[in-house]
Amino acid sequence: MKGLKKLLEHSDNVIYGLAAAPGLDIGYAFKYSKEHISVADSNITDVEEAVSNFHDALRQSKKEMLKIFNFAKDKMGEVRAAIFEAQLMILDDPVLIDTIISRINNEKRLPEFIVNHEISKYQQLMILSSESYLQERAMDIEDIKNRIIRNLQKKRWASKIVHDAVVVSENLTPADAILFTKSNAKGYVTDRGGLTSHAAIIARSLDLPAVVGTHNGSQKINDGDLLIVDGFHGLILVNPDSEQLDFFKKKIEHLSKIDTELKGLKDKPAVTTDGREIVLMANVDITGEIDTTITNGSRGVGLFRTEQIIEELGEIPDEEIQIKAYKNLAERIYPDTITIRAFDIGGDKVKQLHMREANPFLGLRGIRFLLANEDLFVSQINSVLKASVNKNIQFMLPMVSTLNEILRSKELIAGCMKTLSKQNIEYDKNIRIGIMVEVPSAALMAREFGKHVDFFSIGTNDLIQFLMAVDRGNDIVSDLYQEFNPAVIRTIHHIVTEGKKSNVSVSMCGEMAADTLATPILVGLGLDCLSVSPSAIPSIKRTIRNLSFESAKSLAEKCLKMSSEKEVTEEVENYFRENNIERTRNII
């Protein structure tokens, strides 16, 4: 079978846009355009009646929004449905309501004119803002404004579409995106909108493929055209030929097989039988993995290894390339968080940049290399900050072994922030800064280091290597690379308890987090979050959902008192047997 690139090489029926929600589907186009609302401006004589009409319209709009909010809660869960809660709050905004009422009283004009004028002022401010996040929110306000006006005009608005269609539209409001699922919409294609638009977020939550920002896609598509929507690559095929249709049908078949196995788990939280929730995040090495991350239901990216960009490019990326890469990932994963780790150069990574060292793992690596090459570090800090406009990026330092490294890094970050502020460049002023805890000195100093950072992520790949003094890539001593060695278990315990005394959240992103056999101990030791390769998420989630926090805690307590790896391993295997927990392998 040809690859996608070859298949589309000479095709003139492809429309490109932004891959806003992953997934693939085939369906007929339904072109949706909302009835245009025209607003009259005339004088009124009965002010009292106008104010009462305005109150009625507010009440009716609230009723409608509440219905949508409840439906959204059912469909997407409380957290994501908060989009609609925020819209409801606008309808209760006392400043807005008072201003509108006093203008009706003073100007004696139709309420619809004043509502339009007042809310448009808010919208204009958002559209003019340099924050793309706020620009996207202007669309939500448009929906509320039109809703109140329509209710003032006592018109009905049917968000109805034909069943099982791919909805093609200039733009979609969040309410449209959620309500169309009642007609079993198969996917969304819009001319406008970005990856952080609420319609895109909703499509992602609902597992519907969406391609947004096609510019003039809706003009090129006719009602009833057969469409293939590829939300993985951000493309739409209009009236595909038989070869294209065959290709995508096979792809859909393959995806659905995998999906059936995963589906049951995707939207379920990683929560123990007695209610403790562990946040499951994904480790992303190459940007392409982000799709599986989203499809597998991770709650964000716990580790993005930026040195992989250097590996892929064969050189250090300039600021522009970095900003684009970080921004794109952050937008794709929005509203979840992405943890961008500073370049971990040295050791066995990115060798071509590095000088020769007798013991590279113990040499100029990670944060040491970056602090010795400040220009490079500063360019990465600037790129991360510039990409952080949607406020869902956190920044992590690798291979920290002394407090000084944290303090110097924070000085550099503060310096970059100051310069960006002076230049009026937008960035997240409260960006969370964390460290990898992967060197024994950092583990021992967890309480002190924790006072200077927002989060820890335990890197067991390196931590075990340094704790056991065993090269992580050396076969000859691999039997000493023991994640169940009591020294490792006790060190993790120390990091978690001491870190928590300094109020940092503690997660783990080393491979140990992806080993289902280790899951009960890690949960029992009190880790808040595990970050694993995207394909491991379902099996880890399944394990967590089958165990109780209480039993995991007593397992961890027992293991903390043991003296050998063998004892711990046997105890853990016993735990699985006694609690009837089936060990599952990663599904994809």
What residues contact 88, with CB distance under 8 A and at least 6 apart? 62, 65, 66, 69
Cα–Cα–Cα angle for 7, 9, 12, rounded to 5 degrees: 100
CA dist., res. 198 & res. 79, Å (int): 13
Q: Which runs of E-coded beta strand occur in 262-344?
A: 279-284, 300-305, 337-341
Tell me if residue 279 falls in helix, strand or coil: strand
Considering CB under 6 A, how many residues would be counted as binding ligand PEP?
10
> Of 11, 159, 461, 584, which one interacts with ligand PEP (CB under 6 A)?
461
d(CA 229, CA 28): 10
CB 279, min distance to ligand PEP, A: 17
Is cis: bond before 534, omega within 30 of 0?
Answer: no
In the list ligand PEP, Mg ion, none, the entry touching 510 (Cβ below 5 to 8 angstroms by class) is ligand PEP
Residues 421-460 that bind ligand PEP (CB under 6 A): 438, 459-460
- Residue 166, token pair as written in the block: 């791919």
Q: Is residue 509 close enough to count as binding ligand PEP by CB under 6 A?
A: yes
- Tell me which stretch binds Mg ion (CB under 5 A): 86-94, 321-329, 437-445, 467-475: 437-445
End-to-end CA distance of the chain: 21
Q: Which partner from the list ligand PEP, Mg ion, none does 460 bind, CB cut-off 5 to 8 Å by kind?
A: ligand PEP
- 305 versus 542: smaller Cβ distance to ligand PEP: 305
> According to the binding rule CB under 6 A, does residue 305 interact with ligand PEP?
yes
Question: Rounded to an integer, what distance in angstroms lies between the CA atom of residue 52 and that of residue 35?
Answer: 26
Q: Active-site residue numbers?
A: 198, 509
Do residues 490 and 501 lie in contact, with contact meaning Cβ atoms separated by under 8 Å? no
Q: How far is the CB of 513 from ligand PEP (least distance, A)?
A: 9
388 or 457: CB nearest ligand PEP: 457
Shortest separation between residue 370's beta carbon and ligand PEP, angstroms:
14
Is position 462 an interface residue for ligand PEP (rule: CB under 6 A)? Answer: yes
Secondary structure of residue 24 in the 3-state scheme: strand
By beta-carbon proximity to ligand PEP, the closer residue of 230 and 462 is 462
Least Å distance between CB 510 and ligand PEP? 3
Nearer to ligand PEP, 194 or 440 (CB): 440
CA distances from 550 to 291, 520, 545 (A): 35, 10, 13
Cα 393 from Cα 415, distance rounded (Å)? 19
Q: Per-residue b/e over 51-66, b at no fewer than 16 CB within 10 Å?
A: bebbeebbebbbebbe
537 phi/psi in degrees, rounded to 5 = -55, -50
Q: How far is the CB of 460 from ligand PEP (least distance, A)?
A: 5
Judged by CB under 5 A, which stretch of 19-27, 127-135, 406-414, 435-443 contacts Mg ion?
435-443
Question: In this complex, which beta carbon is closest to ligand PEP, that of residue 81 or of residue 509?
Answer: 509
Out of ligand PEP, Mg ion, none, what residue 509 binds, judged by CB under 5 to 8 A for its kind, is ligand PEP
Runs of H (alpha helix) within 387-504 = 403-422, 440-444, 446-450, 460-467, 486-501
Question: Minimum distance between the CB of residue 463 and ligand PEP, rounded to whole angstroms?
Answer: 6
Bridge partners of 21, per DSSP, are 210
Query: How far apart are CB 399 and Mg ion at their closest, in Å?
Result: 7
Minimum CB distance to Mg ion smaller for 461 or for 548: 461
What's the min distance (Å) between Cβ of 546 and ligand PEP? 26
Convert residues 456-475 into a mask of x (bound to Mg ion by CB under 5 A) and - (unbound).
---x--x-------------
Q: Judging by DSSP bridges, how do beta strands 165-169 and 187-190 pair with one another? A: parallel
Q: Which is nearer to ligand PEP, 65 or 527 (CB)?
A: 527
Choose the one of ligand PEP, Mg ion, none that binds residue 305, judging by a C-beta under 5 to 8 angstroms depending on kind: ligand PEP
Q: Give the x-and-dash track for 330-349 against ligand PEP (CB under 6 A).
A: --------------x-----
**What is the distance between the alpha carbons of residues 120 and 101, in angstroms, rounded to a whole number?**
16
Task: Scan residues 265-304 and list those touching Mg ion (CB under 5 A).
Answer: none
Residues that bind Mg ion (CB under 5 A): 438, 459, 462
Residues that bind ligand PEP (CB under 6 A): 303, 305, 344, 438, 459-462, 509-510
